[in-house]
């Protein structure tokens, strides 16, 4: 659905993940309202009709409404509110919400994964709330928006490295690092491109990728280090865990929210 809407959308699409497990995600695209806007909408409606024929799952009806630029801006800001997750407060840059004793992570919605709303990101932040990273060397593989890397830097990590195979994500990450006033080494790449070993390795990706890069993640984990992995659907947990057990790693901590599982592994 995102690919179909991206064909006509201005600057891509926005995917709103549901907070309730049974709810459906909402995919939005913004179109310039010009003389061919109606033609674009008709093409999208036809393409979604063809998509439904594959029986991929529930697909809701296409809804269209006209909004002016200021209305869109205010609605977008209103939908992204500060959220407390463990020891952290994730808030947009325009928010002045009182953090109390929380560590503030300032992020605006962008094109990279990781605004703190997805269960996998929240699970990682809760895990980090219980791990002492002060003075440690940290690697964040698949860093996305760099939210987890920033969390570690703000909690006193000695050195933080973030890698992602997506160049767009790295650009977004650099902007977020600047906003938060921390120092993080960011680069396009994956676990195999890391240098040396790390006291803490983070990898919030998807199960299939985690299984494939398990040897690289294990190779860059210090002997007494911890590996935080997330993005695992419950039905893929056993297969994913087996890949890391083959690298001599076992479960130290586990959390499941809905269908999503996060694990902390050690040797």
| φ, ψ (nearest 5 deg) of residue 103 | -85, 125
Say how far residue 186 (Cα) sits from the centre of its chain. 16
Reduced 3-state DSSP string for 92-108 = CCCCCCCCCCCEEEECC
Q: Which residue, of 19, 45, 78, is where some domain finishes? A: 78
CA end-to-end distance (rounded Å), the chain: 41
pLDDT in tens, 147-191: 999 999 999 999 999 999 999 889 989 999 999 999 999 999 999
Q: How confident is the model at residue 1 (pLDDT cuts 50, 70, 90)?
A: confident
β strands within 130-220, DSSP E:
137-141, 159-164, 185-188, 198-204
Q: Examine the domain organization and report whether 177 and 213 are in the same domain.
A: yes
Q: How confident is the model at residue 8 (pLDDT cuts 50, 70, 90)?
A: confident
Q: What is the mean pLDDT of residues 200-228?
A: 97
Q: Examine the domain organization and report whether 127 and 214 are in the same domain.
A: yes
d(C-alpha 57, C-alpha 71), whole Å = 32
Q: Which residue, of 78, 93, 128, is where some domain finishes? A: 78
Q: Which residue, of 32, 60, 78, is where some domain finishes? A: 78
Q: What is the mean pLDDT of residues 210-216?
A: 97
Say how far residue 205 (Cα) sits from the centre of its chain. 8
> Quick one: DSSP state of residue 194?
-
Q: Examine the domain organization and report whether 68 and 109 are in the same domain.
A: no
Q: What is the mean pLDDT of residues 204-233?
A: 97
Closest by Cα among 40, 52, 50, 51 to 9:
40
Q: Examine the domain organization and report whether 172 and 207 are in the same domain.
A: yes
Q: Which domain holds residue 211?
A: 81-266
Q: Examine the domain organization and report whether 70 and 179 are in the same domain.
A: no
β-bridge mates for residue 104, sequence order: 89
Q: Examine the domain organization and report whether 31 and 144 are in the same domain.
A: no
Q: Examine the domain organization and report whether 118 and 230 are in the same domain.
A: yes
Q: Examine the domain organization and report whether 126 and 90 are in the same domain.
A: yes
d(C-alpha 225, C-alpha 175), whole Å = 29
Q: Examine the domain organization and report whether 69 and 89 are in the same domain.
A: no
Burial bucket for residue 76 (CB in 10 Å: 0-12, 13-18, 19+): middle
Q: Examine the domain organization and report whether 65 and 138 are in the same domain.
A: no
Q: Examine the domain organization and report whether 198 and 249 are in the same domain.
A: yes
Q: How confident is the model at residue 201 (pLDDT cuts 50, 70, 90)?
A: very high
Asked if 226 contacts 252 with a C-beta cutoff of 8 angstroms, the reply is yes
**Helical packing angle, 119-129 and 147-154, nearest 10°:** 20
Question: Residue 181's domain is classified under what CATH number?
Answer: 3.40.50.150
């Amino acid at each position: 659905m995102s690919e179909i809407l991206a064909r006509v959308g201005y600057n891509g699409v926005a995917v709103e993940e549901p907070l309730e497990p049974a709810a459906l995600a909402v995919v939005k695209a913004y179109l310039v309202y010009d003389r061919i806007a109606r033609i674009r909408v008709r093409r999208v409606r036809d393409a979604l009709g063809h998509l439904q024929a594959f029986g991929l799952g529930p697909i809701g009806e296409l809804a269209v409404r006209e909004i002016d630029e200021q209305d869109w801006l205010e609605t977008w800001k209103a939908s992204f509110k500060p959220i407390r997750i463990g020891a952290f407060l994730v808030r947009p840059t325009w928010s002045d919400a009182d953090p109390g004793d929380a560590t503030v992570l300032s992020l605006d919605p962008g094109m990279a994964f990781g605004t703190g709303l997805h269960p996998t990101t929240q699970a990682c932040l809760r895990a980090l709330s219980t791990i002492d990273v002060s003075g440690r060397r940290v690697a964040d593989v698949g860093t996305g928006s760099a939210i987890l890397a920033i969390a570690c830097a703000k909690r006193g990590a000695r050195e933080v490295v973030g890698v992602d195979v997506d160049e767009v994500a790295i650009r977004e990450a650099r902007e977020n690092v600047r906003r938060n006033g921390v120092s993080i080494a960011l680069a396009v790449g994956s676990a195999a491109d890391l240098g040396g070993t790390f006291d803490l390795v983070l990898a919030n990706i998807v199960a299939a990728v985690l299984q494939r890069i398990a040897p690289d993640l294990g190779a860059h984990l210090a002997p007494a280090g911890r590996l935080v992995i997330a993005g695992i659907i419950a039905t893929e947990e056993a297969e994913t865990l087996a890949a890391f057990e083959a690298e001599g790693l076992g479960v130290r901590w586990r959390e499941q929210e809905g269908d999503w599982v996060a694990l902390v592994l050690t040797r």
